[in-house]
Amino acid sequence: MRNHINNLLIQTLERLTAVLVVAEIVILFVGIVARYAFHHPLIWSDELASLLFLWLAMFGAALALGRNEHMRMSALVNRFGDTGRGFAELLALAAAIGFLLAILGPAIDYWENESMVSLMSLDISMSWRAAAMPVGTALMIVMALLRLDRKTLPMALLALIVVGAVFAGFSLLRPQLLHLGQWNLLIFFLGVVSGTVFLGVPIAFSFGLATLGYLAASTRMPLSVLVARMDTGMSHPVLLSVPLFVFLGLLIEMTGMASVMVRFLANLLGHVRGGLSFVLIGAMYLVSGISGSKAADMAAVAPVLFPEMEARGANRGELVALLAATGAQTETIPPSLILITIGSVTGISIAALFTGGLLPGLVVGLILCVMTWSRARDMQVAPRATAAAIGRSFVIAIPALVLPFVIRGAVVGGIATATEVSTIGIVYCVLAGLLIYRQFDVNRLLPMLVQTVVLSGAIMLIVGAATAMAWAITSSGFSRVVGGWIVGMPGGAISFMAISILLFAILGSILEGIPVIVLFGPLLFPIARQVGIHEVHYAMVAILAMGVGLFAPPFGVGYYVACAIGGANPDDGMRHIWRYLAALMVGLIIVAAIPWISIGFL
């Protein structure tokens, strides 16, 4: 019975959220056509898209919880025995349930408060939008409870008791905590976050628990403020592009556009020593300019290239190490989700970030090419492709190669905003798949839409929880103290840049890029401007540093994603990844030392 209810609920949510994604694509694309082609903007389209997006994000977060696909750091938990690992997973689930139960009442209060406000263009109550918070929270509670079964029920009850005891303990200590002032920041935002993250609690809930504990135990603020700040973080208009770019990346692979790009590059460079490694680096550069999702990029390129590279003598462990390195290298390539996130939380022009990100990725890619060339002495080379074969593959690949320039040109040319431009890419990709490449599997659309929703929901919940956490830290006055300390350090901009590289690399390995930017972007970017560092230059350095951390074992999640996609044991790639990380650090230092690389074309 439990399994039947769980499957029915998940299937219902999958179909509902798939419809929401399609609706968002249609609304935004119609808005572009109405404004640019007919000069008659639809003033209600942005409000309707925002309303549906909050529901999409909350439903996606519920699906991710039901499918156990929220982002988490499991390196420490995986070292436990079977019993210890099982209890840690139940403890993480119990912690998520505790957080959700604690904010359900405040979410209802928030919904009731929002009913007094109206959406201007749609002329309806804001409660239609705000209702997504309590409904989504309740759905996540149901999803979490349905993951419990009879076999694990005793241990699950013990985990719930442990979590309840921790909640009760902080409640009893509230009188003492109220007098600790900013020391509570260390207790909750260092102690609670570190403890929960290392125990495998999903990152979004780790942030949420820390902020919940801080507000409830050491301040007198109502918890509805936490829900409001989560809503604010999840509702930024630019972030609507996240699910649309994720879906675009999946379309690129499904329509065969990724494979024709790779085939052209293989014909062009396959006869060079290590040529296919250069193809891998170049293909990741091109595909990153389309999908915006590192996992989608790697999944599009690796299955096409790895079999042929192994046939020429490449080691699978070294291949996944190079794949991970290219994932870090291409973090700055537009329209990367991290670029969009930086623009949303700092106010930096998305067009400037898109322009500034191209050359840093190219510079780091050239450093990787040098490393690859030095490592490719024993690899076989393919016969040189004929000019006719290269030309034929180039002609076939032209529609795919043009897509990154179409997307960038639409933003820079003012045809579409960074939020809307992904819909142009989606329509272009669908037409190319149907009319040019004749490769479009309708049966794969629903799974792709569901995958989009689940990944986007997990990302949006992290952004929402991190926004609330950043607001709590900032409102405490701690950011001003840290800012003053950093500004007062000797060395000025050079010292600040060095500290930032170290900080972003460490945080990127533990928390991944988006939550780090949401959490620390509002604090560090104003300081960078204050010490004379151009904000786009600083953004590129921060992104590359986080990329190094994200793909650096043992904590970097990106490395394990690359191993999973490349079909290699993480231990096989571990002894190869360090030389590529060293190459990435050389490229990062060059980009940090020469601002022109990031801002020369602005």
Helix, strand, coil share (%) of the chain residues, nearest 5: 80, 0, 20
Most confident of 15-29, 246-260, 448-462: 15-29
Q: Both tokens of residue 203?
A: 């990152």
According to the 3-state scheme, what is the secondary structure of 252-272?
HHHCCHHHHHHHHHHHHHCCC
Q: How confident is the model at residue 170 (pLDDT cuts 50, 70, 90)?
A: confident
Q: According to the model, what pLDDT value does residue 559 have?
A: 79
In a domain, 73, yes or no: yes
Given 434, 450, 466, the domain boundary residue is 450
Give 37's DSSP letter: I
**Interval 61-115: pLDDT, tens:** 999 998 888 877 776 777 777 778 888 888 999 999 999 999 999 999 999 888 8
Q: Are residues 85 and 186 in the same domain?
A: yes
What contacts 442, CB < 8 A, 6 or more positions away? none
- When comparing pLDDT for 309 and 428, which is higher? 428
Residue 106 lies in a domain: yes
End-to-end CA distance of the chain: 60
If asked whether residues 397 and 253 sit together in one domain, one would say: yes
Note whether 112 and 198 are same-domain residues: yes
Residue 99 has a pLDDT of: 94
Question: Is residue 225 domain-shared with residue 172, that is, in the same domain?
Answer: yes
pLDDT recorded at residue 207: 87
Question: Which residue segment(s) compose the domain that 41 sits in?
Answer: 2-235
In a domain, 100, yes or no: yes
Please count the structural domains in the chain: 3
| Final residue before a domain boundary, out of 413, 431, 450 | 450
If one compares 122 and 586, the residue with the highest pLDDT of the two is 586
Residue 291 has pLDDT above 70, yes or no: no
439 and 465, same domain (yes or no): no
- If DSSP codes are grouped into helix, strand and coil, which group holds residue 88? helix
**337 part of a folded domain:** no
Query: Which of 385, 401, 365 is CA-nearest to residue 272?
Result: 385
Angle of CA points 545, 547, 551, to nearest 5°: 125
What's the pLDDT tens digit per position in 325-340?
Answer: 888 888 888 877 788 8
User: Per-residue confidence at 184, pLDDT binned at 50, 70, 90?
Assistant: confident
Residues 280 and 414 in one domain: yes
- Collapsing DSSP to helix, strand or coil, 477 comes out as coil
Specify if 332 maps to a domain.
no
Residues 408, 487 within the same domain: no
Top-ranked range on mean pLDDT: pick from 265-279, 383-397, 516-530, 587-601: 587-601
Q: How far apart are CA 443 and CA 445, in angstroms?
A: 6
Helix ranges, 240-382 (H): 241-254, 257-269, 275-291, 294-311, 316-329, 337-346, 350-356, 358-375
Whole-angstrom Cα distance, residue 407 to residue 424? 7
Q: Sorting pLDDT into bands at 50, 70 and 90, what band is 380?
A: low
**pLDDT band, very low/low/confident/very high, at 486 (cuts 50, 70, 90):** low
Does the pLDDT of residue 289 top 60, yes or no? no
Q: Are residue 113 and residue 151 in the same domain, yes or no?
A: yes
pLDDT-derived band of residue 482, with 50, 70 and 90 as boundaries? low
User: Highest mean pLDDT: which of 81-85, 244-248, 494-498, 590-594?
Assistant: 590-594
Preceding omega of 490 cis (within 30 degrees of 0): no
CB 317 within 8 A of CB 544: no
Does 191 fall in a domain? yes
Residues 269 and 157 reside in one and the same domain: no
Provide the pLDDT for residue 522.
Answer: 81
Q: What confidence category does residue 119 fall into, taking pLDDT thresholds of 50, 70 and 90?
A: confident
Can you give the pLDDT at residue 483? 62
Could you tell me the pLDDT band of residue 598, with boundaries at 50, 70 and 90?
A: very high
Residue 334 lies in a domain: no
Q: Are residues 22 and 71 in the same domain?
A: yes
Q: Is the pLDDT of residue 379 over 60?
A: no
Q: What is the chain's mean pLDDT, rounded?
A: 83
Whether residue 412 is found in the same domain as residue 485: no
Do 231 and 275 have their domain in common? no
% of the chain exceeding 70 in pLDDT: 91
Is residue 401, in this structure, part of any structural domain at all?
yes
- Model pLDDT, residue 17: 92
The residue from 450, 480, 509 where one domain ends is 450
pTM: 0.79
Helices (H) and strands (E) in the chain, counts: 29, 2
Of 249 and 537, the structure prediction assigns the larger pLDDT to 537
pLDDT at 187 over 80: yes
Q: List pLDDT tens digits, range 26-40.
A: 998 998 888 888 878
Residue 242's pLDDT is: 77
